[in-house]
Structure 1
């Protein structure tokens, strides 16, 4: 679809040389998923999130996560109105289309838990009332994996709610030189214009669901998830939520490739970004120097794809 290509090319004006990462972020948006951008400082995590948010003509809010952040700072709080002697709900920043949660691991577990219902059920419960979030709602969260002072590890329940975990990575010398030239006068994001609106995103989501998924390919996805749960070196395998996310991501990639159906190649390509952050190694495997990436690659080699 034109919407997908337009979004990717627009974000590429800001994030140079990282098209694969941009494609995955756009696929997450079109699959109704949330993204965790994890990388070292200065690689463009926040800028990628801002560029994607500015590429769609929808509301975007930023939540700077700090240790003193309260759940009410995320979801909102009832405030007493002295004029009518009633409590009125004042929505928090989560009531938006795209929420940029910067340095999410700096928020306490109590504040992080305020996002659990939002990310899974797309609604917010405050006191005895429940409020629906917009039809298009996405959390783009960033975190620094090497700076541990003043940070809190994201719990497994929250990690599982992230559709993908992405890493931007360092640019090549040529890409970094292009970056210097592009930002010589001004930053490209200052001139970035929206290329899609809410109707475009909703239409693209319908197109993702319309991509045909053969039953044998669905069985293939299920066998991959089952193999991670049975693997001797994994303490925690893929959840059913992860299975569904891998299926939807494969449909999104097939649509990006302009294919009317999903093949095992799309499933294998999306397994890493979708499943790696959901898997936990056993302590013995970690002590032996094994990584989640190696174990998942072994699983994909062992599970035969459908012919």
Structure 2
């Protein structure tokens, strides 16, 4: 099987477990193939955790889930040096933490204090952890998918804007249509019936190998991006820094624009989206498809925008409509 067919198989399997969240499934696959970390936000019960687990279940990978709580310590995430008594004497050995996995689910990341968030984000950015002067590398396939919900802000530690910028995309999970919610009820009922009948012990389908991900990444790296498309990506990001040049309203709404990481994210995600659509070049549709997920967490809105009830998505809609196409 080709890498494309295997990735399509992965998407199909995930879609069978996550009904009504097709866009979320696609964004998770884009993050996996673009080798970037995702921040997934949505109200409780919208299958954020289930989506990540569905990916890990169907991919030949080691999965780790970290439940973030206010009393969590950095060493609970990264690991620590442990004293061991051996026949040759005493020695300290590194005991890896749950961060050392292929797919890491950081559940409710905003419930842990800043020092724990910093330990996780360092591993995300550097792809390594340094403990007691020794550097420990992450596995070749390594992605962090962090979740948070937009309500219940008591007892939480919101991520600073500078740390949010390290996530490739900020994915929002919304309520499914009522027709899909009916299918969710049926799906969960079938799973419960299978569990009661002990059918869960049946032979499981073969997991998608990691080599399919690496091969897909090599093909994505060869996707053509024209100079005009490169300029279009840069223009979208630059517009967030000089919004008044586009419109008076945007000038009032945006306080701080996106960093160059946004331009890099457009390039990675645009090429990945084009590859998933079976094209060997990036067109404006690919860029626009991922624009909200890339810019959503990188814009700081003014108090005036918040007072007018404007969201980041509203502002991005205006930017995309005003920036000229190549």
Q: Is TM-score (shorter-chain normalized) higher than 0.5? A: yes
> Which residues of structure 1 form unaligned runs of 5+?
none
- Unaligned 5+ residue runs, structure 2? 244-250
Aligned length: 306
Trace 1:20-99 onto structure 2 (pairs within 5 A). 20-83=23-86, 84-99=89-104
Deviations 1:73-128 (A, max 9, x none): 00010112232322211110111100011111111111111012211121111121
Q: 2:216 aligns with which of 189, 204, 213?
A: 204
- Using the TM superposition, give the Cα deviation of residue 210 of structure 1 relative to its aligned residue in structure 2, in angstroms: 1.2
The 5 A counterparts of 1:128-277 are 128-186=133-191, 193=205, 195-231=207-243, 232=251, 233-277=253-297
State how far apart, in whole Å, the 1-side matches of 2:57 and 2:206 are.
6
Aligned to 1:295: 315
Q: CA RMSD in A?
A: 1.6
SS of structure 2 residue aligned to 1:66: coil
User: Counterparts of 1:143 and 1:120 in 2: how far apart (Å)?
Assistant: 19
Q: Are 2:80 and 2:94, in contact at CA under 8 Å, matched by a contact in 1?
A: yes
Paired residues of 2:7 and 2:212 also in contact (CA < 8 A): no
Write out per-residue CA displacement over residues 117-141 of structure 1, whole angstroms, 9 at most, x where no aligned residue. 2111211111211111011101111
Shift in Å, 1:55? 1.4
TM-score, length basis structure 1: 0.95
Report the Cα distance in structure 1 between the residues aligned to 2:304 and 2:117, rounded to whole angstroms.
30
Following superposition, which runs of at least 4 residues in structure 1 exceed 6 angstroms of deviation? none
1:7 aligns with 2:10: yes
